[in-house]
Structure 1
Amino acid sequence: MSSVEVVPPQPPPQPPPRSSSRRLLRPVLVVVVVGSAVWFVEGFVGDIDWSQVRAALDHLAWWQLPVLVLGLLLRQLLNALPLSVYIEGCGPLRAVANDQAAILMTTIAPPPSDVVVRLAMFSSWGISRSAGLAGTVMNTVSFYVVRFAAPLLGVLVMAVTGDLLGGELWTALASGAVSAALLVVVWLSFRSPAFAASTGRRTGLLARRVRSSVDPGVWAESVLGFRGTVVDRIARTLPLSVAALVGMVVVDAGLIVLSVRFVGASRVDLPAVWVLTAFLVAYPLTLFPFSGLGLLDAVVIATLVARAGQEVEASLVAALIIWRVVTIGAPLVLGMVAVTWWRLSTRAGVT
């Protein structure tokens, strides 16, 4: 009887450690984006008198920053509400925690780290991977619909106030057409399984041009599975989600209006409706990295300086600096709080 050599099981291969250059990529990208932001602003509106900007920032009282943070909390709640609408078992608190954790991961780690942490949180709450992923995708789709529809809302405000400008109208119509096209694709995908499968297959064919391992048939099956997860409630959940995200955009614009007032710009110098509409018309620029940092700011400042005069430039720059600090910095803190809360509650078995 021959002896059989027993080979001990080998440990699973470990992923290679991230190189130091990879770890440095994110901080370098942040520096590049911030530098580009300053370049964009100065390119659009000319040289900035930073001493006047500092003087405008000095107008900010200690109690005004907490007011802006409270407004941000409302903004983040509205931003996360679609998750609770699309995903059964994901209440508003869980939705906010999930959203803030994803924002934190998007900032400090490369994709798909945000999706990984989202799905891990959903799983710990007893939510299936397919339901969590479908809700996340629909949340993103809803946001894109609102993102490109925001200029139409700005034009509507201008029309109501009798302050409509031709340039903004054409920009809004072009952007609104993108939003309408997204809604049509969503409607057709949920109305027709064949259209959903065709959309998945065509998308897979496009993706295969970049990655040869992509199987268009698998993509078609995935889209059909996604459709089956949310189709029964889409007629109710999509309008509710869009309404919540419209509210989020309006609150975001309100934070800029408050920031403008807090740095000393009066209603006479900069009427709130001007600030509101300038932001709404430029809102599709949030598509770019860090919510359009630099590019959106430059367009809003240039638009308002053209209407109100050069004397408001320093106040606008100061106001947008405050808005960016609050809307970019505070969500990172909220993300750390959310991840900590999730880990502690998971360990304690209370989620």
Structure 2
Amino acid sequence: MSPSTAEPRRRWLRFAVTVAVTLLILAVGISLADEIDWEGVRSSLARLEAWQLLVLCLGLLLRQWLNALPLALFIDGLPSWRAMQNDQAAILMTTVAPPPADYVMRFAIFTSWGIALPAAVAGSVMNTLSFYVVRFGAPVLGSLLMILLGTFHLGELLGALPSMLVSVAILGALWLAFRGEAFTAVLARRAGDLVARVRPKVSGEAWAESAAGFRRQVIGRVPRALPRSLLALTAMVLVDATLLVASLRFVGVDAQQVPAIEVVVAFLVAYPLTLFPFSGIGILDAVVIATLLSVGTDVYEEGVIAGFFVWRIVTIGGPILLGLLSVALWKWELLRRPTTPAA
């Protein structure tokens, strides 16, 4: 099979797998939905007051600012509020177009602000890598909280182990990449040569040059920026968990039924499931809801579902609205500065 025909077939295979998984999730969701008391869910949602929704929106702003902070840490001269604007625009693009549309939007905005493309690329890549370290490290934090509080759920601990290994592997790869430029070039060249066996168009030498250029862009900032980025993103995940706790409380699920720490632990352990589209909507929700129903006392499923519904509306709908606002603001800035080159 020639490379020209193999690539389209691989694309169609990925598309078919994505459709199959989506249909499976929909089928499971529909079967579960038939057993839910939707009138009870509506009654729980009716408890939500305007001031409570405002509190959730303010918490979302903090969450989104923390999520974008690594961009400001890795890109010299980028204020945190600009980083947040760029991040919201990229999030919007992920909901309306397939990758790498989000990166195209990021780089277009960065270039219009006068940030050199190599610096923008390096900062964006480090931002993504930092997030993946925290995404797969979250179950470890959840397990530590569980152990410190004297609770023990074997299933959650076992689930945290492979996730921890992924997080450590990413950190290890970063450490190896920044040991020395020669070492980075050799590692990238070998990786490129391996990939070239599957994709002949890939050049190991080109990978080595790109890796060396990437390293030069961020090497001076990594020692300080990487730990701060990991701390900021960990705080972001904890804020996200707090928003979930608040959403449950606002619809009537009290601490006697489900303690806050149980919500946080269950959320952290399941957090790698946000890898799926729309932050794992449906998949992460089902896992955490099942966990809370198993550890809670006299907890009603309808109340928990209502809390998740509120949390999802705020944490998915909110960033989309912020993304629309960010793109509109960027376009307005370009109109005011018509001579600014747009990527």
TM over 0.5: yes
Q: Is the contact made by 1:101 and 1:335 (CA closer than 8 Å) also made in structure 2?
A: yes
The CA distance in 2 between the partners of 1:108 and 1:94, in whole Å, is 22
Match of 1:288 among 262, 273, 276: 276
The CA distance in 1 between the partners of 2:244 and 2:28, in whole Å, is 19
Q: Aligned-pair distance for 1:256?
A: 0.3
Match of 1:220 among 186, 208, 227: 208
The amino acid of 1:142's aligned partner reads: S
The CA distance in 1 between the partners of 2:256 and 2:299, in whole Å, is 12
The amino acid of 1:89's aligned partner reads: G
Residue 57, structure 1, aligned to residue 45, structure 2: yes
Provide the secondary structure at the position in 2 that maps to 1:269.
Answer: coil
Q: Paired residue for 2:263?
A: 275
Match of 1:327 among 305, 315, 331: 315
Gaps of 5+ in 1: 1-28
Q: Paired residue for 1:179?
A: 167
Q: Which moved more, 1:134-143 or 1:288-297?
A: 288-297
Provide the secondary structure at the position in 1 that maps to 2:221.
Answer: helix
Q: Paired residue for 1:104?
A: 92
Q: Is the contact made by 1:45 and 1:302 (CA closer than 8 Å) also made in structure 2?
A: no
Q: Aligned-pair distance for 1:36?
A: 5.9
The CA distance in 2 between the partners of 1:55 and 1:75, in whole Å, is 28
Q: Paired residue for 2:79?
A: 91
Q: Aligned-pair distance for 1:144?
A: 0.4
Q: Which residues of 2 match residues 331-346 of structure 1 at below 5 A?
A: 331-346=319-334
Match of 1:266 among 250, 254, 277: 254
CA deviation string 1:141-168 (max 9, x = no partner): 0000000110111112112221132222
The amino acid of 1:175's aligned partner reads: S
CA deviation string 1:223-273 (max 9, x = no partner): 111011111121101000000000000000000000000110111001000
The CA distance in 1 between the partners of 2:185 and 2:302, in whole Å, is 53
Q: Paired residue for 2:236?
A: 248
Q: Is the contact made by 1:41 and 1:295 (CA closer than 8 Å) also made in structure 2?
A: no
Q: Paired residue for 2:101?
A: 113
CA deviation string 1:294-346 (max 9, x = no partner): 11000001111111157431111111111111111111110111111112123
Q: Aligned-pair distance for 1:86?
A: 0.1
The amino acid of 1:71's aligned partner reads: G
Q: Is the contact made by 1:44 and 1:302 (CA closer than 8 Å) also made in structure 2?
A: no
Residue 158, structure 1, aligned to residue 146, structure 2: yes
Q: Paired residue for 2:65?
A: 77
Q: Is the contact made by 1:37 and 1:293 (CA closer than 8 Å) also made in structure 2?
A: no
Q: Is the contact made by 2:258 and 2:299 (CA closer than 8 Å) also made in structure 1?
A: no
Change (3 A) 1:321 1:198: farther
Residue 126, structure 1, aligned to residue 126, structure 2: no
Q: Is the contact made by 1:41 and 1:297 (CA closer than 8 Å) also made in structure 2?
A: no
Asked which structure has the greater CA Rg, the reply is: 1
Q: Which moved more, 1:212-221 or 1:67-76?
A: 212-221
The CA distance in 2 between the partners of 1:269 and 1:135, in whole Å, is 44
Change (3 A) 1:317 1:200: same
Q: Which residues of 2 match residues 197-212 of structure 1 at below 5 A?
A: 197-209=185-197, 211-212=199-200
The amino acid of 1:315's aligned partner reads: G
Q: Paired residue for 1:23?
A: none
Provide the secondary structure at the position in 2 that maps to 1:59.
Answer: coil
| CA RMSD between the two structures | 2.4
Q: Is the contact made by 1:101 and 1:338 (CA closer than 8 Å) also made in structure 2?
A: yes
The CA distance in 1 between the partners of 2:203 and 2:309, in whole Å, is 46
Residue 234, structure 1, aligned to residue 222, structure 2: yes
CA deviation string 1:132-189 (max 9, x = no partner): 0000000000000000110111112112221132222222222112111111110111
Provide the secondary structure at the position in 2 that maps to 1:63.
Answer: helix
Q: Is the contact made by 2:273 and 2:284 (CA closer than 8 Å) also made in structure 1?
A: yes
Give the alignment's TM-score, normalised by structure 2.
Answer: 0.87
Change (3 A) 1:200 1:310: farther
The amino acid of 1:231's aligned partner reads: I
Gaps of 5+ in 2: 1-17
